[in-house]
Structure 1
Amino acid sequence: MKKSLIALAVLAASGAAMAQSSVTLYGVADAGVVKLNGQSTQMGSSSTLNNGGSRLGVRGVEDLGGGLKAGFNFETGLSLEDGSTATAGAGFWGRAANMWVGGNWGTFKMGRTLTPSFYGAAAWELTGTANYSVVGNTFGYGGAGARNSSQFSYATPAGLGGFSAELGYIAKADNGGNAKWDGNLVYKNGPIAAGLSANQVRGDKANWALGGKYNFGTFAVAASYTARRAGVNREGFTIGGTANFGAFTVTADIARDRKNDAGKKYTNFLLEGKYALSKRTFVYVAGLRLDGGNNYGLGVRHNF
């Protein structure tokens, strides 16, 4: 009897420990027919005219007690055309490879991850940062790419009167001899969302973006201004709106250059339509006018 009670106690303790940690497999399957400027019509699964890149990821979290948690995230891109990897970086886990520790005081993260500038822009961008986003394709997110490698970052906890912030840093040895900082300040409260993004590599000028969105319920409008100063100077504004008709959503977004050192100033335009088949699956059609070229896509996306 005594041995049975001990065994039950060990089993209960083991179950409690297992309940405190979890690992989740997730991903996106996105496939369609795309017509990119200057190319023949083809299948796409991670192209500019797909809603998102197809991917497979794994993430986990462990409750360490006392409000402290630790976790990780690995994510790889893949092609639905032939099953090959379609990474956004140098390695297999090119989309994400990081770990974090967090609590009521915020979250500290290390590794390859989406940038603070990206999250600052995602607060107000109308398409959910789709591959064909006119914001991302014209100016980048905060005037830069969407991911940083070898980043140390701290993010404040949510719920500070609607405000949150994140600051990332990359040491010079991890960034070609020039350190980089990347940060955001985000406000989300009720129908209002706004985000300020900024980043700079030592020796270059700082990039920044400021945008906001107001949600009326059935309709939402957004506007932004981005200054991409590193490399080729390009800056300008975007303005657009989204209308929701039940399962169907239509979005129109315009980007206009005020400065473009590469030459001609462009007016770029996106028109997107989405129809939800379920909570996790939707079909979409998109047309993107980008720097004088026309691009079209028709596809279906499933999140799992």
Structure 2
Amino acid sequence: MSKFRKVVPISGLVAALASMGAHAQGSITLYGIADSALLFTNKSLDAQTGGNAGKRFALVDSGLSPSQFGLTGTEDLGAGLKAKFKLESGISMVNGGFNDSNGNLFGRQAWLALSGTFGELKAGLQFSPFFTAIHATDTRGYSNFVSGLVTYADNVFVTGAFNANAVSYTSPELAGFQGSAMLALGGQAGDFQAGRQYSASLQYHNGPLLVDAGFYDGNAGGTAQTPVPSTQAFVGRMIGISYSFGTVTASAAVVNYKVSNSFNDYVYSAGLRYQVAPQLALDSGIYVTVDRNDHANRSVMGAFGAQYFLSKRTTLYGQVGVVDNHGRMNTGLTVNGALFGVSGTTVGSNVGIRHLF
């Protein structure tokens, strides 16, 4: 997602090295998102019984976008070659703790990279190509309330989102095509397969048309243990498409989460986004989940959202959603506050404010 950033020149470093002759130019950027909302649901999950605990009204973190702050830097090495880094932390606007991450200080991203005409090589904690491919054609832009991000987290939590011990390569765009591949090493001596994760994606972009496909295969175990478990064993596949008709963008996708010794969910989604005016955007989406191992386990989730831009950085938003669960399906409405739901129909909404810096 895009972020508005404040660039801070490394003036102190430049001054210190000035007497040493010529040096590469660089910059460090501080950026972030602060987002909180009031959430209401007419049902909520009782973690002890699995039943309905009743209505819920609460202040929650990250109603639309994940609250976060980070540092990113770039150094021009010459001849088109650049060195980059990123350190990104998820934070909670409700209690000041960690959130929307793997639970570590910089639990969203922490990597180094080299980029040039050959593409980009990256090493460290990073998003998988599978995770970013779903985001590219998600009709609600990975909103924390009723979107492809909710069905992702409901199926495999943060596995594939925050990949530790990872090395990746992203190609330059050629004739509209761009590919990406990642390998995360489990790091366990004597067992290469423990905790091993790999992923790939291929994107085609031609004017208003975007087609995206992604794959993920991850094993349990390994040495990259984090406060929030991120090595759920699963195989993921997806294909999505979006097309813009002026101010209206239509999107559709199919995502498969095949979890080891468990469910085999297919999520079918479609929706529209309409930029009514520079200050106002509307979107809607529907997500149908079916467990191919047991078709009695299914859910239908849908939402309508509105964003009003007070400025380039500050947005007021409101969202209304509904989910209907059958069998053992427990799809919730939002990543924060209601990730898992109860059987039957649940209705919810949130209103909030987001500020980018």
TM category, shorter = 0.7 to 0.9
Secondary structure at 1:206 match in 2 = strand
Conserved in 2, the CA contact under 8 Å of 1:117 and 1:141?
Answer: no
Conserved in 1, the CA contact under 8 Å of 2:171 and 2:180?
Answer: yes
Residues 1-304 of structure 1: pairs in structure 2 closer than 5 A: 11=18, 17=23, 20-36=25-41, 37-38=43-44, 40-46=56-62, 50-86=63-99, 88-139=101-152, 145-157=160-172, 159-173=173-187, 177-202=194-219, 206-231=235-260, 232-246=263-277, 247-259=279-291, 261=293, 263-290=296-323, 291=331, 292-304=345-357
| Structure 2 letter corresponding to 1:75 | E
How big is the shift at 1:202? 5.0
Residues 90, 257 of structure 1: alpha-carbon distance in 2 compared, 3 angstrom cutoff: closer
How big is the shift at 1:13? 7.5
How big is the shift at 1:218? 1.7
CA distance in 1, matches of 2:26, 2:102: 29
How big is the shift at 1:114? 1.4
Q: Deviations over 1:142-178 (max 9, x none)?
A: 9764221111100112x31111111000123269814
How big is the shift at 1:191? 0.5
How big is the shift at 1:180? 1.6
Structure 1 residue runs without a partner (length 5+): 1-9
Count of equivalent residues: 289
Moved more, 249-258 or 138-147: 138-147
Moved more, 103-112 or 126-135: 126-135
Structure 2 residue runs without a partner (length 5+): 1-16, 45-54, 221-232, 324-330, 332-344
The CA RMSD over aligned residues, in Å, is 2.5
CA distance in 2, matches of 1:260, 1:33: 35
Q: Which runs of 4+ in 1 moved over 6 A?
A: none
Q: Deviations over 1:97-147 (max 9, x none)?
A: 111111110111111111111221222112222212422222459976422
Residues 152, 213 of structure 1: alpha-carbon distance in 2 compared, 3 angstrom cutoff: same
Moved more, 124-133 or 109-118: 124-133
Instruction: Quote the residue 2:10 is aligned against.
Output: none
Instruction: Quote the residue 2:337 is aligned against.
Output: none
CA distance in 2, matches of 1:142, 1:209: 14
